[in-house]
Structure 1
Amino acid sequence: MAWRSSSGSNRGLIENLYRNGLIKDTRVRDAFLTVDRAHYAPSIPYDDSPQPIGHHATISAPHMHANAVEALLPYILPSDAHPTPRVLDVGSGSGYLTHVMAELVGPNGVVVGVEHIEPLKELGEGNMAKSKEGRAFLEAGRARFRVGDGRKGWVEEGEESEKWDAIHVGAAAAEVHAQMLEQLNAPGRMFIPVDDDISQLGQHIWWVDKDKDGKVTKTKHYPVRYVPLTDAPKK
């Protein structure tokens, strides 16, 4: 149904995704409606398709972003268990999903996007600053962009907690990296594409759940095709 979701406007794209069952939760639909994909995709922004954004990176198709947010939603929304949600977006790229998740974490939550090279960090930050809402999130610290090796997770300077309620990984990892898993809160969930073999033909989405007692459960979902999570390019 993804190919039938493209439109000539942001509202048309999101409403089509909702109508076609690719977005199921109205809260997710409303968050996506608030963020104009044209600020993040360099061309044909309202097509339900991935696009290159430079530096060997892509912005994923909108239906993939929607699926990621719905998978992580119980850990992104403020709740009794997570009153101030902390979300890590590894491989934040264009910054689009970082912005969408910032719409959902509430006024006391935070989303940190981590990129492995400075130009991509600057791209996401600059894209978010194109809208009034995005600028407000950046100024308040509700959304932040950092440069680092996301495979090691991220410890945000000045924050009391080193744990993340939700971790989204936007590139295919060779494994569920131990440092990211260590930083996942209990309870918490990681959404990560894992390359099951070196051919890059075995990528699947995995949900990695950690319960309140710290027990980890890994669930393999559907096949995907993501760019690999790699080292930063050598200068």
Structure 2
Amino acid sequence: MLAVDRADFCPDNPYVDSSSPLGYPGVSINSPHTHARCLELLHGNLSKGSSALDVGSGSAYLTTCMALMVGRMGKAVGIDLVEDMVEDSITNIKKSHQDLLDSKRIKIVSGDGRIGYAPRAPYDAIHIGVSLEAVPQQNGVCFFSYWEQLKPGGRLIAFVGPSEGSQVLQQYDKQRDGTIKKTEVERLPVDG
């Protein structure tokens, strides 16, 4: 995180430890401590040469951090539904990290993140930055379309709960046999 200047990605109060609106309805950047916690949880899956997906990438701050963590041979993809936000995030990256775009270590796309981003799958790490009301169920088992895009040994983290209230940061680890192990990491107040 020290290698990525938050001011390039957050227009208002970039160094205050709170979420901040990004100029689009319902879109904000999470607080630095929330980003730090997410990177801490994904750290083992963001090693040199790994691949990462950031769903609801917003200003691309976290995606840029991920791209640096996976190194020259790694890849990070950010996907966001708001097309103008995607254009803004590319502009943000160009401010200090044009090399990540030139080398294709980072790719920012507009699209429905609920279905992931198959062209660069499978991923070692997936971060879902948008809050989920609930984790989808299939035959009584939690199910995401992301499971197919997550490598065995991969980790997905997501904020689950109502967008206006307390949420749970959940961690999902895909076992070598393809099964998913869920861990409730912590309860959090809504952070944007």
TM-score, normalising length: structure 2: 0.90
Q: Post-superposition shift, 1:199?
A: 7.4
2:134 aligned partner: 175
- The percentage of aligned residue pairs carrying the same residue is 37
2:140 aligned partner: none
1:92 aligned partner: 57
Aligned length: 183
Q: Post-superposition shift, 1:43?
A: 1.4
1:18 aligned partner: none
* d(CA) in 2 for partners of 1:226, 1:182: 29
* d(CA) in 2 for partners of 1:226, 1:174: 15
| Larger fraction in strand | 2
TM-score, normalising length: structure 1: 0.74
1:187 aligned partner: 153
Could you say which structure has the larger radius of gyration? 1
2:159 partner letter: P
- Equivalent runs, 1:98-109 vs 2, <5 Å: 98-109=63-74
Is 2:31–2:191's contact at 8 Å kept on the other side of the alignment? no
Q: Post-superposition shift, 1:61?
A: 0.4
Q: Post-superposition shift, 1:85?
A: 0.7
* d(CA) in 2 for partners of 1:173, 1:42: 26
1:123 is the counterpart of 2:88:
yes
2:103 aligned partner: 140
Is 1:193–1:226's contact at 8 Å kept on the other side of the alignment? no
* d(CA) in 2 for partners of 1:166, 1:118: 23
Is 2:77–2:109's contact at 8 Å kept on the other side of the alignment? yes
| Shift >3 Å, 4+ stretches | none
2:176 aligned partner: 212
Q: CA RMSD in A?
A: 1.5
1:40 aligned partner: 9
2:33 aligned partner: 63
